[in-house]
Structure 1
Amino acid sequence: MSFEQVRHRPPSGLERPRELVVACVPMRSNVNLSTIVRTAGCCGVQRMIVCGNARIDQKIARDGAESVALEVRNSLPPVLRTLRADGYRLVGLEQTTNSSDLHHYSFPRRTALVIGNERLGLGEAELELMDDCVEIPVWGRPFSYNVATATAMALYEYCRQYPS
Structure 2
Amino acid sequence: MKPLIGTDLKRFLRDYKREHRPTSDLVALLQSVEYPANVGSIFRVADGAGLTELVLTGITPTPPNPTLEKVARYKSLRVPWRYEAEPVTAVQQLKSRGYHVVAVELADTAVPYHEYNYPAKTCLVVGHEDHGVTKATLAACDAAVFLPMYGKGLSLNVHVALSVVIYHICISNKCKE
For 2:170, which of 152, 159, 163 is the aligned residue? 159
* % identity of equivalent residues: 23
The 1:139–1:15 alpha-carbon spacing in structure 2 relative to 1, beyond 3 Å, is closer
Higher helix proportion, which one? 2
Question: How do 1:1-150 residues align onto structure 2 when only pairs under 5 Å count?
Answer: 5-7=3-5, 8-9=9-10, 10-11=13-14, 12-13=17-18, 18-51=24-57, 52-56=59-63, 57-150=68-161
Deviations 1:41-98 (A, max 9, x none): 1000131000125135222112532221110111111111111121110100001111
Deviations 1:101-157 (A, max 9, x none): 012112111001111111110101101111110000001122011101101101111
The 1:87–1:154 alpha-carbon spacing in structure 2 relative to 1, beyond 3 Å, is same
The 1:4–1:30 alpha-carbon spacing in structure 2 relative to 1, beyond 3 Å, is closer
Please list every run of at least 4 consecutive aligned residues from structure 1 whose deviation after the TM superposition is greater than 6 angstroms. none
TM superposition score normalised by structure 2:
0.82
The answer as to whether partners of 2:43 and 2:79 remain within 8 angstroms in 1 is yes
Unaligned runs of 5+ in 2: none
- The worse-fitting range, judged by mean Cα deviation, of 56-65 and 78-87 is 56-65
Separation in 1 of the partners of 2:34 and 2:152?
A: 21
Q: CA RMSD in A?
A: 2.1
Unaligned runs of 5+ in 1: none
